[in-house]
Amino acid sequence: MKKLLAIMLMAVMATGAVMAKDVVFVAGTGNDTGATSVTKDGITITMSHMDYPNYYVVLALTDMVVEADDALITNIEFNCTNYNYGATYFYQYAPDGYSYDQDGLTGRWEGLAQSVTFKPTAQVRMTRITVTADEVSTAVRDLDTQRQVVATTYCDLTGRTSQKPFDGVNIVVNRYADGTTSSTKVVY
């Protein structure tokens, strides 16, 4: 398994520059007071209220949406003010990949998406939200759009290959008319 993961990492690295970045939102420190959304380094967070001086608020049964302009989100972590307004309230309507710590103060989503939506069953108050996103360099993306794909193979995390995607995480290998290949991680 370690050998397969190492091969997949090398394949992703060979296709171009992939850079993980952490974007941190801290309540009350930016110009987000009074807004319902804030954008920082290509990541936008939209929620019920950002107008409290010390925390962000998502009201019960309203959406909190985290979006990346030109990247794929791999991790979202938020720190809540206390258990009464904690991360446990996101659980019922949370996307796959969501978990929270036993004390209910820290919630975490892990996956691969350009947009992630949370909907709490009760009010949630957060002091800090950290979003990790993988960004592929523009030059590499531009090269990929100019080539014609002649074959696509899907590989799951156990190493099986198929001409059709597997449920879950896939490494998608495209072979181009010029003989080059590219690999990307995609969740189906």
pLDDT string in tens for the chain (188-residue length): 444 444 444 555 445 455 789 999 998 886 665 678 889 999 999 998 876 788 999 999 999 999 999 899 999 999 999 989 999 999 888 889 999 999 999 999 999 999 999 999 999 999 999 999 997 654 445 455 567 888 899 988 888 989 999 998 988 888 888 888 888 888 88
124-162 b/e (C-beta count within 10 Å ≥ 16 → b): bbbbbbebbbbbbeeeeeeebeeeeeeeeebbbeeeeee
Distances (CA, A) of 57 to 1, 86, 103, 128: 42, 11, 19, 11
The reply to whether the predicted model has a pTM over 0.85 is no
CA separation for the pair 116, 49 (Å, rounded): 18
User: Rounded to 5 degrees, what are φ and ψ at 22?
Assistant: -105, 130
Residue 131 CB partners (closer than 8 Å, separation 6+)? 22, 23, 24, 25, 43, 45, 66, 68, 73, 75, 76
List domains and CATH numbers for the chain.
2-14+138-187 (no CATH), 19-136 (2.60.120)
